[in-house]
Amino acid sequence: PLSLIISNLNSSNQRFPSGGVGAVTALPNHHISNGPHWNPGINQHQHQLHTARSLDRALEDAVCSGTLNLSGRKLRDYPGPSYDLTDTTQADLSKNRLTEIPPEVCLFAPLESLNLYHNCIKCVPEAVINLQMLTYLNVSRNLLSTLPKYLFNLPLKVLVVSNNKLVSLPEEIGKAKELMELDISCNEIQVLPPQVGRLQALRELNIRRNCLHMLPEELADLPLIRLDFSCNKITEIPPVYRKLRQLQHIILDNNPMQSPPAQICLKGKVHIFKYLNLQACRMDKKPDSLDLPSLGKRCLPQPLTDRYGAFCRSSRQEPSDPSFTMRRKMEHLREEMEQIGLLRQNLESRLKVLLPDDVGAALMDGVVLCHLANHIRPRSVASIHVPSPAVPKLSMAKCRRNVENFLDACKKLGVPQDKLCLPHHILEERGLVKVGMTVQALLDLPASKPTQLSAV
C-alpha cells in the first residue's frame, strides 16, 4: 500500500538524514546494526552442544551393543567414565589425540578388538595385560619407540604397529604363539630377533620400509602365505627360504638384491625359488638335499614321466657317465616341480579346496578327480566312492573304480587320447606330471555351466 511505502521512506530519511544512497558508505560501522549478524561464539557453542549430544549417543549405544566407536572426534581424554562399558568387546578410538591408552579401556575384560590408529600414544601401559580376550590390536601411526614384553602375553592374532618409531622388537615376541598377522612396516627396525621363528601360526608378515640388512633364517620354518620386506637394505634371500612351501606372495622391491640377482627377482616367485633351490644344491653338492614340496615319496629313481623315468634308469645303469650331471638332474626336478605346482593350482582354484602337501596321496583314491569332472560337466561321473568316518580309507578296488570312472568321463568329454594318463599314474603316484596334463586338457575343454561344489 502507498501508506506503507511512505512510512518506510520516512523511516529511511530519519536513519540517513543526508539522503541519497551514497551516504551509507560514509556512516560509521556501528550505525549498521539492525540486521542479524553471524556470531562465531554462538555457532561454536551450538557445535559443542551437538558434539556432546552425539558423543553421549555413541556412549549409550556402546552400553547396549558392546561396540564402542569414538573414531575421529579429536578426543584428548577418554570421555566415558560415567558409563558402564565393562562389557565392551570392540573399541574404536582411532583418529583422536590420545596420548595414552585410557586406563578405563584396560578394564574392559571381554575386549576382543582395540583400534588406536592415528593417535599420539607413546607407550603401552602394563594394565593392558588385563585384556586377556584381546585378539586384534592396532596401534599404528602413533609415537611408540618400544613394545613392552608383557604385550606378547596376550592372545593376539593380529598386531599392527606400523608407522611408529620402533628400532627393535623384544625377544619375548616369540611367546605370541597365536599371532597370525604382524605388521611392523614403516619403522626404524634394524634387526629381527630370531625368536620371530617361533610364531608357528604366522601367515602374514609385513616388515616393509625399515632399516633391515638381512633376513633371519628362522622365518623359513613359518607357514607364511604373504611376506613383504620391500624398501629395506636387504641384499640376499637365504637359500633355506625355499622351505616356505605355502608362500603365495613375496614382495621385495626397492632392495639392493644380489642373491637372487635383480633380474631374477623381477620374474616373480617361481623363478626366485628355482634360484634358491639351485643355490642350496650347489652349497650341499648333492641333489638329495633339495626340499621339493609334494615329492616326499617320489625320489629321483621313480619314473614320474616316461622321459624322466628313462633318464633315471639310464642314470642307474651308467652312474659314471659324465653327461648325467647334477645340473641336468636339477633341470628335470625343477620342471617336474613346476608341473605339480600347476596341477595343485588348477585343482584348488576350481574346487575351492586346500590340498595337503603330498598331492599324489590326495589324488590316489580318485575322489578329487571325480569331483573335478563333475565340476566341469555335471553328472559326468554318476557314482563316486568316498571315505566315511567309519571307513576313512577306501579299498584299492574302490580307488581303482573311481580312477577308471574319472578317465572314462575324460574320454566322453573329449580329452584327446594322447593327453590321457593311465590308472597306475594315479593309483601308484608314479606320474603326477602326466596326471597334470590330463587335468589341464580337461580344463581346456569348451566351458559349460559349472555347478557349486560342496566340500570334497
| Beta partners for residue 113, in sequence order | 90, 136
Specify the pLDDT at position 349.
84
Q: Is the pLDDT of residue 202 over 90?
A: yes
Specify the pLDDT at position 80.
72
Specify the pLDDT at position 230.
95
Specify the pLDDT at position 25.
40
Residue 240 or 298, more confident: 240
135-150 tens-digit pLDDT: 999 999 999 999 999 9
Written as one string, the DSSP assignment of 165-211 is ------GGGGG-TT--EEE--SS------GGGGG-TT--EEE--SS-
Amino acid at 7: S
Specify the pLDDT at position 285.
56
Residue 416 or 306, more confident: 416
Model-wide pTM > 0.85 = no
Distance, in Å, from the CA atom of 353 to the CA atom of 440, rounded to the nearest integer, reads 17
- 240: phi then psi, degrees, rounded to nearest 5: -65, -15
Specify the pLDDT at position 325.
58
293-345 tens-digit pLDDT: 443 333 333 443 444 444 444 444 444 444 445 666 677 777 888 888 888 88
276-305 tens-digit pLDDT: 988 888 776 544 444 444 433 333 334 434
Average pLDDT over residues 391-419: 89
Specify the pLDDT at position 33.
42
Q: Is the pLDDT of residue 407 over 90?
A: yes
Q: Is 214 exposed, middle or buried (0-12, 13-18, 19+ CB in 10 A)?
A: middle
Specify the pLDDT at position 300.
37
Calculate what percentage of the chain has a pLDDT beyond 70: 76
Calculate what percentage of the chain has a pLDDT beyond 90: 46
Average pLDDT over residues 57-71: 91
With cell 568329454, the residue in question is: 413
**Sheet containing 204-206: which strands, arranged edge to edge?**
67-69, 90-92, 113-115, 136-138, 158-160, 181-183, 204-206, 226-228, 249-251
Question: For all residues of the chain together, what is the average pLDDT?
Answer: 80
With cell 611408540, the residue in question is: 144
Q: Is the pLDDT of residue 385 over 80?
A: yes
